[in-house]
Amino acid sequence: MAAAHPPRPAAPLRILTAVPVCDGHDSAVTTINIELARHGLEVIYLGYHQSAAAIVRAAIQEDVNVVGLSSYNGGHIVFFKEVADQLKKSGNGDIPVFGGGGGTITKADERVMKRQGTDRIYFAGTPLDAMMAEIKKDYARAAKPNAKFKGDRALARAITIAESGLGTRHLSLVTSPQKSRRCFVVGVAGPGGAGKSTLIDELTSRFLRSNPTGRIALLANDPSHPDSGGAILGDRVSAIYAQDDRVFFRSLATRGNLTGLSAAAPAAIDILKQSGEFDLIFVESVGVGQESDPFRIFGKGRKLVDATLFVLAPYYGGLIQLQKIALLNGADLVALNKCDHPMAHTAKAEIQARLDQNHREQKLHPTTAAKHFDPGVDALFTAIAKLGRLDVSRGGEKACSMEVSS
């Protein structure tokens, strides 16, 4: 008799945390985020000074179990209600909302907020271990297919199911034969601290301006903690332009996969491609080392992306370090970011010399993604558009839509 397979471990609970608009500090929520991750939860942190629409959009696209808000600046009765109302109005009222606010939220406020849709409030002095145990007990739930989900929530749930180890079994929920956009997938890799997330955000802004009707998707991979299994998924903090409804942003934790991507990343890419929604997809790996090949560009298995962008900062450690980075041999595009750094001039020459040794006519793109109108980012986007044959001829500016996608 064959031995029984061990039960599949439950997927980590996913929680979106944020600080409301007009609240300009995040010291309290940062402490809570670390504690949540230490207890094995995956925390998608949106940042502070966030609107209700931004929080709801992120909750939908991340398909979170629950939203946790930290409010210390007043206005919590109105704000929490607005978040709960927008979730319900968009057909996503199954996502509960809880929060805390030290001494600013009173017991009387709590009674009003619960009547208006807030699930619970944690007050100052609540033991952290008790709080974590309650969150894990009350908000954990299995992700199942739901035919009632539409739009971004249907995409998000399909990715969640893929993360649970079920692959693309439920692609029928998101595949649209009426939509047939030609989709170009770009993998973005590079060491931690090179500014990959900010660069992707600036490239997103170029796409939105140059293609006023297209959609773009971002898959951002971050490492899980090897001890607890939790993670802090913080790339949305840098994603200013993800507040446009034409941007789909999903955070993925590696959950022990050592390739630089979540094991579900290949399935997530397929889900986004087969939805027919997107012209361009960026897949960001975790900060990679010298031997990493997260997108399989050297022929080990099915290649995951159509092109690879490798991003470096000027402080990479010298010529010998450049020689060790295998991805520089195979990258379709190479960017030296943070070119406002004093070491950038020397770095440009060294990196271009390293690329010339590959005899592939690779061009280095100097960028400073921290500047919103950097000509280097313009040139890099033009190169990506040309490589992917993206339709950017229509031009025109389009203000970021703040409506909530269901």
pTM above 0.85, yes or no: yes
Residue 360: what are its φ and ψ, rounded to 5°?
A: -120, 10
In this predicted model, what pLDDT tens digit does every residue of 112-134 receive, in sequence order?
999 999 999 999 889 999 999 99
Share of residues in the chain with pLDDT > 90 (%): 79
Share of residues in the chain with pLDDT > 70 (%): 90
In this predicted model, what pLDDT tens digit does every residue of 96-116 receive, in sequence order?
999 998 789 999 999 999 999
Which architecture, in CATH terms, is 177-388? 3-Layer(aba) Sandwich (3.40)
- Same topology for domains 14-139 and 177-388, yes or no? yes
Highest mean pLDDT among 11-15, 22-26, 397-401: 11-15
pLDDT band at 27 (very low <50, low <70, confident <90, very high): confident
- Distance from C-alpha of 25 to C-alpha of 19, rounded to nearest angstrom: 8
List of long-range contacts for 134-143, beta carbons under 8 Å, 24+ apart: 135/13, 135/15, 135/36, 135/41, 135/66, 135/68, 135/98, 136/13, 136/39, 136/40, 136/41, 139/13, 139/15, 139/65, 139/66, 139/96, 140/10, 140/13, 140/65, 141/65, 142/10, 143/11, 143/63
Can you give the residue ranges of every domain in the chain? 14-139, 177-388
In this predicted model, what pLDDT tens digit does every residue of 201-258 receive, in sequence order?
999 999 999 999 999 999 999 999 999 999 999 999 999 999 999 999 999 999 999 8
Q: What is the mean pLDDT of residues 325-344?
A: 96
Superfamily for domain range 14-139: Cobalamin-binding domain (3.40.50.280)
